Structure 1
Amino acid sequence: MGTLKSRVAIAEQSPKERRSNFNEVCLGYNIDEARLEATRCLECKKPKCVEACPVSINIPLFIKHIKSGDIAEAAKVIDLDSSLPAVCGRVCPQEIQCEGSCVMGKKGEPVSIGKLERFVADWTIKNHLELTTKSSKRNSRVAVIGSGPAGLSCASDLAKMGYEVTVFEALHMPGGVLVYGIPEFRLPKSIVEEQINQLKRIGVRFELDVIVGKTITVDSLMEEEGYGAVFISTGAGLPRFMGIPGENLNGVVSANEFLTRINLMKAYQGDYDTPVYIGKNVVVVGGGNVAMDAARSAIRLGSNVKIVYRRSEKELPARAEEVHHAIEEGVEFCFLTNPVEILSDEKGWVNELRCVKMRLGEPDSNGRRVPEPIPNSAFSISCDMVIMALGTSPNPLIINTTKGLKSERWGGIHVVNEFGKTTRPGVFAGGDAVTGAATVILAMQAGRKAAAAIDEFLRERDSKHFNFSSAN
């Protein structure tokens, strides 16, 4: 029975040290620390943590194996439900999911489920443990478009079922948002690479630099290439802007572009000839995890950074851990502040952000209090770079080039059920391309549900074909 009210502390780089490098901030548990933390788990008979996990990992069971020191068995338990544990252990919002439902959190701190998952996954990689076994080979081929968390999870499950799976990726490296959107100090690219290598070892193929909708189409994949089903998991990579004057000035960029240049193209490394503009005084607009990632990256590149957010600190959508780290590293927060105009010098470069102070009014239909401008409260922030981190939308390319594929008014792909079935037979979709920008774990959940639906679709199709052939 667990008795410790407080979590076992986890080692981190000091704020002063990490401001000057892109190395991982959190250093993870060693085996003794992990086993001690695991003793805090009460092994609930009806574990609410499992109910709160989008992919339903048997959390008490894998933690029980950590307690006993059998890390290989813990890894096998996690592998039944998650193909990306080293990723999820680092970037999932556990505080509002599994850990947020942990009974230990009622009288103390919840069990560090995410850090324990990360420990098991890292141990598995370090010890070269092969986990996955495949079912007998199926004759059908499945195309997965996009190699982010939804696509990787779907591909993993289908490969385990015995299908021949090919993942088509528009960029030169697989991983989607895991490699272009999340900084090295939160998610090392070597970890993503190893998780993808595990998929390759069970037969998943990756085709890079392929833009579906231009290089090839969904129609050609199904009608000419012979794929029995297609899963669209292209994410939401189209950045949003505010529509205020001055957004086209030099020095105004989207967080998407800024992070892609740093994360995927390694602009932070001196031996990479990747162009990236970085100001001395940077303002990041937004309050989500992407805003934190952009601000903390700019800090590491030598900038003074302010985050401007139109609501209060209480309403920040970013993970508490990321906000805490940002504050430690020197990011300044300007709450209840909203930009209204960006001004420039005589050469067209940003030199000032005009803002107004806000106050929170009545709640909207979602229960969030609506920010309202305070009259006569305009003021300016001196800056030479503005990074817009206001969310993203799905790219319309595939929708516009695929017959029979219905979209939502806001741009996402329309699905007819929770398993990602679209209006085009044999075509399924999930993740941010359907929901808009969300979390890694929710995208993984969508990928797993779609894999189950694709399996059912192909089995039903093959059964009808068999019955028809037999009748003749």
Structure 2
Amino acid sequence: MAEKFNLNRVSMPKQEPGVRARNFKEVAQGYTHEMAMEEAKRCIQCKKRNCVSGCPVNVNIPEFILALRDGKMPEAVNQLKANNALPGICGRVCPQETQCEEQCTLGKKGAPIAIGRLERYVADWERALPSSQKPATKIGPSTGKKVAVVGSGPAGLTAAADLAKLGHKVTLFEALHVAGGVLMYGIPEFRLPKEIVQGEVQYVKSLGVDVRLNSVIGKIDTVDELLSDSYDAVFLGTGAGLPMFLGVPGENLNGIYSANEFLTRTNLMKAYLFPEYDTPIKRSKK
């Protein structure tokens, strides 16, 4: 195998430490077309698709990589999105090293295929296209059913997209002023740019999902009221928005933040750009 196959994966460009320490731009800069093609050619198209079984949503990994290798980019997009509505996000933040890539046959002798990097490349290729040129997603005939999805984090967005593709009419309720949930407030810009998240939100909207912001379920409506208000089902994806405190002395003092508040101030409210954004984070004197 060492003579027949390339056991070394293609490196991905990154910001140098001295540069990235002074900005919030994405650290990993992604493959060029040439890099993606070279990495895709490493895939040996195993008959036993361990990588697929290692993926929590069973993405058609060999198929999308083969389409990429053959230059059939719309097909690569469709293969990815058949089982995953958020490839631009998953290609960046999914722990592929313990899932699909851990099952890669090449990993037994060398470096596994960089599945996440290739997923990111395909997703970014599609995102750069004009709306009129994006590959169309197949949507089933209307079922006449209405579903309410509570929470627009990764679970809510995925559920909404999958339900819409099945032909259901979906309304997605988000408590905050922007959709994305933990993807927006919990993951730093340098790890997951917010424009990527909003691009995926727009894709979900393009499937016919009605996204309603500033809508706190439990205040504007209860779950029982949603079910009695013509919704046939409710999906609860409320996420990890509330912190768990330890009950230690001083945790309620000024300048003490829960991890949730710290991340929200930084990621969603851009505290690192103070005074351009009026959401500063107090700094210790020591």
TM bracket (short chain): over 0.9
CA-CA distance at 1:268 after TM superposition: 2.0
Runs of 4+ aligned structure 1 residues displaced above 6 Å come to none
What residue number does 1:3 align with?
A: 5
The question of whether the paired residues in 2 share the 8 Å contact of 1:147 and 1:175 is answered with yes
Equivalences for residues 34-433 of structure 1 within 5 A: 34-128=36-130, 129-223=134-228, 225-270=229-274, 272-280=276-284
Structure 2: how far apart are the matches of 1:271 and 1:246? 28
Q: How many residues in Structure 1 have an aligned counterpart in Structure 2?
A: 281
Alignment-mate amino acid for residue 149 of structure 1: P
Q: Can you list the C-alpha shifts for 1:73-121, whole angstroms capped at 9, x where unaligned? A: 1111011000000000000001100111111111111110000000000
Structure 2: how far apart are the matches of 1:73 and 1:245? 57
- Residues 142, 272 of structure 1: alpha-carbon distance in 2 compared, 3 angstrom cutoff: farther
Structure 1: how far apart are the matches of 2:195 and 2:279? 23
Alignment-mate amino acid for residue 239 of structure 1: P
CA-CA distance at 1:11 after TM superposition: 0.5
For structure 1, the 5+ residue unaligned runs are 282-382, 384-472
Alignment-mate amino acid for residue 25 of structure 2: N
Structure 1: how far apart are the matches of 2:43 and 2:18? 34
Alignment-mate amino acid for residue 69 of structure 2: K
The question of whether the paired residues in 2 share the 8 Å contact of 1:168 and 1:210 is answered with yes
State the secondary structure of the residue aligned to 1:231: strand
Higher strand share: 1
Bigger CA radius of gyration? 1
State the secondary structure of the residue aligned to 1:198: helix
Structure 1: how far apart are the matches of 2:282 and 2:100? 38
Identical columns (%): 51
Under a length normalisation based on structure 2, what TM-score does the superposition of the two structures give? 0.94
* Match 2:14 to one of 7, 12, 24: 12
CA-CA distance at 1:57 after TM superposition: 0.5
Q: Can you list the C-alpha shifts for 1:311-350, whole angstroms capped at 9, x where unaligned? A: xxxxxxxxxxxxxxxxxxxxxxxxxxxxxxxxxxxxxxxx
Structure 2: how far apart are the matches of 1:166 and 1:181? 24
The question of whether the paired residues in 1 share the 8 Å contact of 2:241 and 2:260 is answered with yes
State the secondary structure of the residue aligned to 1:239: coil
Structure 1: how far apart are the matches of 2:117 and 2:284? 35
Q: Can you list the C-alpha shifts for 1:39-87, whole angstroms capped at 9, x where unaligned? A: 1111111111111100000111111111112222111101100000000
The question of whether the paired residues in 2 share the 8 Å contact of 1:261 and 1:274 is answered with no
The question of whether the paired residues in 2 share the 8 Å contact of 1:79 and 1:131 is answered with no
Alignment-mate amino acid for residue 38 of structure 2: L
The question of whether the paired residues in 1 share the 8 Å contact of 2:78 and 2:135 is answered with no
The question of whether the paired residues in 1 share the 8 Å contact of 2:149 and 2:160 is answered with yes
The question of whether the paired residues in 2 share the 8 Å contact of 1:182 and 1:259 is answered with yes
CA-CA distance at 1:175 after TM superposition: 0.6
The question of whether the paired residues in 2 share the 8 Å contact of 1:258 and 1:276 is answered with no
After TM superposition, the structure 1 stretch with the greater mean CA deviation from structure 2, 156-165 or 80-89, is 156-165
Structure 1: how far apart are the matches of 2:274 and 2:250? 31
State the secondary structure of the residue aligned to 2:273: coil
For structure 2, the 5+ residue unaligned runs are none
The question of whether the paired residues in 1 share the 8 Å contact of 2:182 and 2:240 is answered with no
Structure 2: how far apart are the matches of 1:271 and 1:197? 30
Structure 2: how far apart are the matches of 1:32 and 1:261? 38
Structure 1: how far apart are the matches of 2:109 and 2:88? 29
